[in-house]
Amino acid sequence: MSKRILTLLLLGMASACQPTSEDADPPTLAILMAVDQLRADLLKNYDPLFVGGFRRLLDEGYRFENATHDHAVTTTAPGHTTLATGVHPTRHGVVGNSWSELEEGRWRNVYSLQDLDTEILGYPELPGRAPTNIYRAGLPDWIVANDPASRVVSISRKDRAAIGLAAKAAGDVYWLADEGGEFVTSDYYRAEYPAWITEFNATTMPLVYSDSVWESIIPTTALSLTRPDRSRFELDGEHTVFPHRASETVDASDPRALNHWRYEFTPFPDRAVFALATEAIRELQLGQRGSVDYLGISLSQTDLIGHNFGPRSREQLDNLLRLDVELGRFLSFLDEAVGPGRWVLGLSADHGVLDIPEHLAEQGVDASRLTRSDRRQLSRSIQDVLDNVDDEDEPAEAVKEAVLSLPFVAAAYTFDGVEQGQAIDSFQVLYGRSHSRTRIVGLAARSGVYARFGPNVLESSFLRTSHGSPYYYDRHVPMIFLGGTISAGVSSDRVATVDMAPTLAWLTDTPAPDDLDGTILERSLRR
């Protein structure tokens, strides 16, 4: 029995996994790239301004314009893990960035990728990180199962993004530590840093991660595409205009404070991520050794800038223009190092975002954010029910009715209703795909109820805007494939982010499990 047939039998793989073209060998490097908080319409709105990587993706790639995350809790950890595994959060287990677990009658908060039995190399004081809470293997695992000589690399500013894109696989998984301004990993992945990472942190990071001023590169002819730069809706309402100087908000003589400023408020960390990805391809010869290798890249600053300035801000446009340039350089490097047609890239996002609600309200849209009073009212409504039920009673139905009486709650769904599959609306289906009885996301969920707030209602009281809802603006993301033998094209077909992993597997002739929620987008991508 051949190694390939044995692998198919052991993993329960699908029978149809062929290259895109009958005459071409499959690509030897699969790249899964996520741009954090990149709502799909942003690429369309700023299309004429792109000249680099986004231009190439839009002109040469195959675009699915109606791609969505099909789960309710639209946050970073679930989104990245969904892209990599091809199944919804209820099955891969990462139902939120964090959740509550009941332990000996008390609720405790659990970070999605925490593993206190692991240690961050070089930073033993930091909490450990590992994919322990992920239930399912993903694309990088399938690639290694098919060929143990394959290599896995995943890089991001965020630990939950780098780990999520790596699924359960061991390999070179790195994220940026705010504390030291360098890339780190945990002892889940390796016992010590390879020499090339140590060298990169020592010599390259000071070059790509040293700015203390963020100046705009937006052409004056494009300024009208965004909100005015001075806006009371952004950041702290005061430091809202270019140029942004670290010295205006932090002690720039404090290296840690300066790193935090770069980390939270500027585009600069993504430049470092691209630099490390480029170095990884060189050092590990990704895609150049005869095996199919995997590279996960997550660009995080779209999310941080979106939270602080909003998706329609000049800061976000400037960030996207810089990302366009960096992505263009990276794609050119792929052609040079790996070779045209020898790599294939799938680009998407972990979630979208709500426009700043106060800005929407000024435009005449019914939009608001939950106040502290609203939160107290929600908590009190739930507690009043719990205080008046017997221990043996199931409080979920009563809690559901209580939260439905609140003006900012549009609907509520009990766990029993979600599990029975008799959906009262399409949103209940989405909650079912984020559902867990043991990993609880949301205050009402502690009592067995998912409370859906109204559209354009922002849950966060401290971020300028955010995401996390089941509404279209939080679920609509790009999905673009480029490289290999893919031809340029556009589809309005309804597709989902769970389709990303099986499609990249198919494009690299990698067997994938046959029980995925996603499907191969073969009809659109076959030449």
Q: Mind listing the pLDDT tens digit for each residue in 468-479?
A: 999 999 999 999
| Cβ(352)–Cβ(74) below 8 Å | yes
Which pLDDT score is estimated for 8? Answer: 39
Of the two residues 463 and 421, the one the predictor is more confident about is 463
Judged against a pLDDT cut of 90, whether residue 422 lies above it is answered with no
Which pLDDT score is estimated for 13? Answer: 43
Judged against a pLDDT cut of 60, whether residue 192 lies above it is answered with yes
Mean pLDDT of the chain: 94
Report how far residue 148's alpha carbon sits from residue 141's, in angstroms, rounded to the nearest whole number.
10
Report which of 110, 91, 101, 109 is spatially closest to residue 167, judged by C-alpha positions: 91
Judged against a pLDDT cut of 60, whether residue 26 lies above it is answered with yes
**What's this model's pTM, rounded to 2 decimal places?**
0.94
**Which residue's entry shows tokens 């780190």?**
184
Q: Read off the pLDDT of residues 501-513 as tens digits, 9 standing for 90 and up.
A: 999 999 999 999 9
Judged against a pLDDT cut of 50, whether residue 331 lies above it is answered with yes
* Pairing, β 409-414 against β 449-453: antiparallel
Which pLDDT score is estimated for 401? Answer: 97
Confidence band, pLDDT 50/70/90 cuts, at residue 268: very high
Average pLDDT over residues 373-388: 95
| Cβ(481)–Cβ(419) below 8 Å | no
Confidence band, pLDDT 50/70/90 cuts, at residue 67: very high
Burial letters for 282-296: b for 16+ Cβ neighbours within 10 Å, e otherwise? ebbebbbeebbbbbb
Report how far residue 248's alpha carbon sits from residue 125's, in angstroms, rounded to the nearest whole number.
30
Which pLDDT score is estimated for 392? Answer: 58
Judged against a pLDDT cut of 50, whether residue 12 lies above it is answered with no
Question: How many other β-carbons are positioned within 10 Å of the β-carbon of residue 392?
Answer: 5
Q: What is the dihedral of CA 472, 95, 169, 336, to 10 degrees?
A: 20
Q: Read off the pLDDT of residues 203-236 as tens digits, 9 standing for 90 and up.
A: 999 998 889 999 999 999 999 999 999 888 899 8
Element (H, E) at 213: strand 213-214
Report how far residue 505's alpha carbon sits from residue 19's, in angstroms, rounded to the nearest whole number.
10
Q: Which residues is 106 bridged to in the sheet?
A: 103
Determine what percent of the chain is predicted with pLDDT higher than 70: 95
DSSP secondary structure letters along 159-181: HHHHHHHHTT--SEEEEEETTTT
Which pLDDT score is estimated for 451? Answer: 98
Which pLDDT score is estimated for 78? Answer: 99
Which pLDDT score is estimated for 527? Answer: 43
DSSP secondary structure letter of residue 446? G
Burial of 33 (0-12, 13-18, 19+ CB in 10 A): buried
Which pLDDT score is estimated for 50? Answer: 99
Confidence band, pLDDT 50/70/90 cuts, at residue 423: confident
Domains of the chain: 3-10+28-353+473-493+507-525 (3.40.720.10), 371-407+409-453 (no CATH)
Report which of 137, 125, 129, 85 is spatially closest to residue 111, judged by C-alpha positions: 129
Q: Read off the pLDDT of residues 270-296 as tens digits, 9 standing for 90 and up.
A: 999 999 999 999 999 999 999 999 999
508 phi, psi to nearest 5 deg:
-105, 10
Which pLDDT score is estimated for 3? Answer: 39
